[in-house]
Amino acid sequence: MSAKDILGEARAIQDWIVDIRRRLHRHPELMYEEVETSRLVRETLDSLGIDYRWPVAETGVVATLGKGDGPCVALRADMDALPIHEEADVDFRSEVDGKMHACGHDCHTAMLLGAARLLKEREGELPGVVKLLFQPAEEGGAGGDRMCNEGALENPTVQRAFGLHVWPFVPSGTVAGRVGTFLAAAGMVHIKVTGRGGHAATPHLTVDPVVTASKIVLELQTIVSREMDPLGSAVVSITTMRGGEAFNVIPPDVELTGTMRALTLPDLHRLQERIREIAEHVAAGNRCTAEVEFPGNDYPPTDNDGHCWDVAKRIGAEMLGPEAVVETPPLMGGEDFAFVLQRVPGVFVGLGIQNEDVGATYVVHHPRFKVDEGALPTGTALHVAFALESLRELAG
């Protein structure tokens, strides 16, 4: 069966896929809170007669299709939403204040369930096993790492993995990616600057953490501009500053949070080292102290295996046309699927969903983010085609 034939089958169930996506979109859940999302996934798998293991990493689901004595390929979708209040003008807006599927994980889950349906229809023909990984906590919780640590890639051992992300940077009907580093290593930073508060009219009697924190923010910008290789890529962004409650009171402390990104883990750790040194020394030079922490998880870079990217390109070209496969430079976003790619060869691709005609023009993590739902069958078809082609190759 050709990739175009698979796309035709996926388009025949588009309404089914979109309905699941909209049900998920109305009820977003944050990382490790994906209780109802996980329930919908399991109920759908039950209706399809697909076996699964649950819970994995608290709310995750690992479904299995095919024969246990052949090769094994994994397909992955993340399930969690973001703490963003939705402003998109859609009929199926989030019904939960302050929470939104602003990164398209509702689409990812729906597309993988679509793949589950199509793969189930040809389960007897599979020359091996397909694992479907429905993962929690991509948005900072390292759910992919936890699923791997809890055996999601074992029994049977996964030999190749595939994941995709709705991609607002390229038009619908295209697939984006590259060999090697596709997405960056990423981490978080928290800095607490402590001084001595007091009345704003007598600053000489205080040790002002607001001014000191401001100096730290400015000095941190020199790490990338003055210390990193200009031919490399790195990001240091301080995104929040919190301190004080009154216009005429200098607070005793100020807290900063932000993120750092690099294309390798060593460079990420170098950024962290310099952030700590600069914050502590700038604070000391202004008679304050700075406590620097890197909470959460350091995400490794998302590195695409060369052969797996060739497979994905070949499938994309057959399915959509050679011009629809877009080779792209690395992006400084981080991605949890990187934990899977640390362990097994695989590929992560971007599924174009940019379409001005339906208002799909905003980037991910934006309150008005929208998706061209006409692209969802393509994502389902890519999952199915990658699994079938990989099993055929691995089975020899």
Percentage of residues in the chain having pLDDT higher than 70: 100
pLDDT of residue 1: 79
**Structural domains of the chain ordered from first start:** 3-183+301-395 (3.40.630.10), 185-293 (3.30.70.360)
Whether 366 shows a pLDDT value over 90: the answer reads yes
pLDDT of residue 274: 98
Output the DSSP codes for 28-75. Answer: ---TT--HHHHHHHHHHHHHHT-EEEEEETTTEEEEEEE-TTS-EEEE
Distance, C-alpha 124 to centroid of its chain = 33
Q: Are strands 302-304 and 198-199 parallel, antiparallel or unpaired?
A: unpaired
pLDDT of residue 231: 87
Q: Which two tokens stand for residue 305?
A: 């295996």
Please report which confidence band the pLDDT of residue 281 belongs to, taking 50, 70 and 90 as the band edges.
Answer: very high
d(C-alpha 237, C-alpha 253), whole Å = 20
User: Could you tell me the strand order of the sheet in which 289-293 lies?
Assistant: 234-242, 253-262, 185-194, 289-293
Q: Over the stretch 168-211, which tens digit does the pLDDT of each residue have?
A: 999 999 999 999 999 999 999 999 999 999 999 999 999 999 99
Q: What is the mean pLDDT of residues 154-162?
A: 97
Say if residue 214 is exposed, middle or buried (CB neighbours under 10 Å; 0-12, 13-18, 19+).
Answer: middle
